[in-house]
């Protein structure tokens, strides 16, 4: 009897020691949380080195490996993670109620989940999340970002509208008169990667070489979550919802590619997508990005100059109207609690990563557009 008690005591002691040995891994979680603050205290040269050397080396190596897989590895890993987590949880629950050492088993389960979460978040921050805290894109591209007169916003919208009207005449339509690409969706994804190669000569920050974005097999699942694309830093894969309408598809692909280039902020990724798509050989890519830019710019104009907005909105072509209506009708089918919950989660994620405007930060690309147009197209002033 004494021998059995002693053995049990030894087993419990060993079990607790195994859990205590995991504590250093749990410490990675608070370390990851304070990592941005630590980085901000380092000399500015650190972020320049990180964004110009460290991150491109890591991302290109990982992307080169995952790009060899013809499907989204991140999507498969997500399904596998869900399955493993569910099975592991069920097994631990059964053991918790059918075997001895219940408290230890509960602690072991929570510790394992905690360690996995800490490792994941630390790796996320170290290999990609730090990009949220680097210099702004305006600074890196030497764009004159500054407060601007309301008249400049109107002029931006007017110029973008002229671009969209001209490009809409050059693209193809389906039987319903809605914009379609002259190439397949897969070819558009390949073109999005090429677009960044096109502008690498003018912007050195896009000189890294990456594979193309990946299709998401269960794209309707993303639609239910109100997601058009998602970048997964763990596999360095830009993933795109291929069930979504054509209108912003090319712009979305280039947006997710921008994240692969270490551009974390959403407004900056939108602007990078616009910049990249403008270099495309096909009107399809340019139209998609120009419509994205016009939509955001007009959204801002509607809140500052309702008369100016109405004047420009009345000039949309019939083809543009059909494209916008088709886009809206598609997303109308997916409105509901899942989409709302997903938006709230995305909002919280963005706020936690130095984007205080949350999901509204997507529209702040207008500030970059104004700076870009002032630098490249408005040399004559207003």
What distance in Å separates the CA atoms of residue 289 and residue 191, rounded to the nearest whole number? Answer: 13
What distance in Å separates the CA atoms of residue 35 and residue 13, rounded to the nearest whole number? Answer: 34
HEC sequence for 95-114: HHHHCCCHHHHHHHHHHHHH
User: 99-140, pLDDT tens digit by residue?
Assistant: 666 677 787 888 888 999 999 999 999 999 999 988 899 999
Q: How confident is the model at residue 98 (pLDDT cuts 50, 70, 90)?
A: confident
Say whether pLDDT at 3 is over 70.
no
How many other CB atoms are there within 10 angstroms of residue 46's CB atom? 15
User: 168-206, pLDDT tens digit by residue?
Assistant: 999 999 999 999 999 999 999 999 999 999 999 999 999
**pTM score above 0.75:** yes
The angle that helices 185-199 and 249-260 make with each other, rounded to 10 degrees, is 50
Report, as an integer, the average pLDDT of 8-27: 73
What distance in Å separates the CA atoms of residue 259 and residue 354, rounded to the nearest whole number? Answer: 15
* Candidate from 55-69, 86-100, 105-119 with smallest mean pLDDT: 86-100
- Looking at residue 8, its pLDDT comes to 59
CB 110, CB 37: distance < 8 Å: no
User: 293-316, pLDDT tens digit by residue?
Assistant: 999 999 999 988 999 999 999 999
CB 153, CB 304: distance < 8 Å: yes
Q: How confident is the model at residue 15 (pLDDT cuts 50, 70, 90)?
A: low
Residue ranges of alpha helices (H) inside 261-362 are 266-277, 283-304, 306-313, 318-332, 337-352
- Looking at residue 40, its pLDDT comes to 83
Please name every residue paired with 179 in a beta bridge, in sequence order, or none if there are none. Answer: 173
Backbone angles phi, psi at 209, to 5 degrees: -110, 125
pLDDT averaged over every residue in the chain: 88
- Looking at residue 348, its pLDDT comes to 58
Say whether pLDDT at 361 is over 50.
no
DSSP 8-state class, residue 229: E
């Amino acid at each position: 009897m004494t021998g059995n008690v002693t053995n049990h005591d030894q087993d419990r002691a060993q079990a607790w020691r195994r859990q205590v040995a995991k504590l250093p891994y749990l410490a990675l979680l608070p370390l990851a949380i304070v990592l941005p603050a630590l980085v901000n205290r380092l000399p500015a040269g650190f972020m320049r080195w990180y964004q110009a050397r460290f991150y491109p080396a890591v991302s290109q190596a990982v992307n080169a490996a995952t790009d060899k897989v013809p499907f989204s590895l991140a999507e498969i890993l997500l399904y596998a993670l869900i399955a493993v987590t569910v099975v592991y949880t069920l097994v631990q629950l059964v053991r918790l109620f059918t075997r001895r050492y219940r408290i230890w088993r509960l602690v072991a389960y929570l510790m394992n989940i905690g360690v996995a979460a800490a490792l994941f978040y630390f790796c996320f921050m170290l290999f990609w999340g730090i990009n949220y805290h680097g210099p702004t894109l305006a600074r890196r591209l030497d764009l004159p970002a500054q407060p601007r007169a309301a008249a400049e916003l109107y002029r931006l919208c007017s110029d973008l509208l002229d671009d969209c009207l001209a490009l809409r005449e050059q693209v193809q339509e389906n039987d319903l008169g809605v914009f379609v690409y002259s190439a397949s969706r897969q070819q558009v994804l390949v073109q999005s990667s090429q677009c960044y190669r096109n502008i690498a000569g003018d912007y050195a920050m896009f000189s890294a070489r990456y594979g193309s974005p990946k299709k998401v097999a269960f794209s309707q699942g993303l639609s239910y979550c109100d997601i058009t694309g998602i970048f997964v830093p763990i596999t360095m894969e830009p993933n795109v919802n291929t069930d979504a309408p054509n209108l912003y598809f090319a712009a979305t692909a280039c947006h997710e590619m921008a994240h692969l280039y270490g551009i974390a902020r959403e407004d900056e990724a939108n602007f990078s997508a616009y910049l990249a798509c403008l270099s495309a050989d096909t009107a399809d890519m340019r139209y998609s990005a120009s419509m994205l830019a016009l939509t955001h710019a007009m959204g801002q104009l509607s809140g500052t100059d309702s008369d100016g907005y109405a004047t420009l909105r009345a000039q949309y072509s019939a083809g543009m109207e059909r494209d916008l209506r088709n886009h809206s009708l598609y997303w109308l089918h997916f409105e509901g609690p899942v989409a709302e919950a997903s938006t709230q989660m995305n909002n919280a994620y963005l706020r936690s990563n130095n984007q205080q405007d949350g999901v509204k930060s997507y529209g702040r690309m207008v500030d970059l557009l104004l700076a870009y147009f002032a630098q490249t197209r408005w040399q004559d002033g207003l």
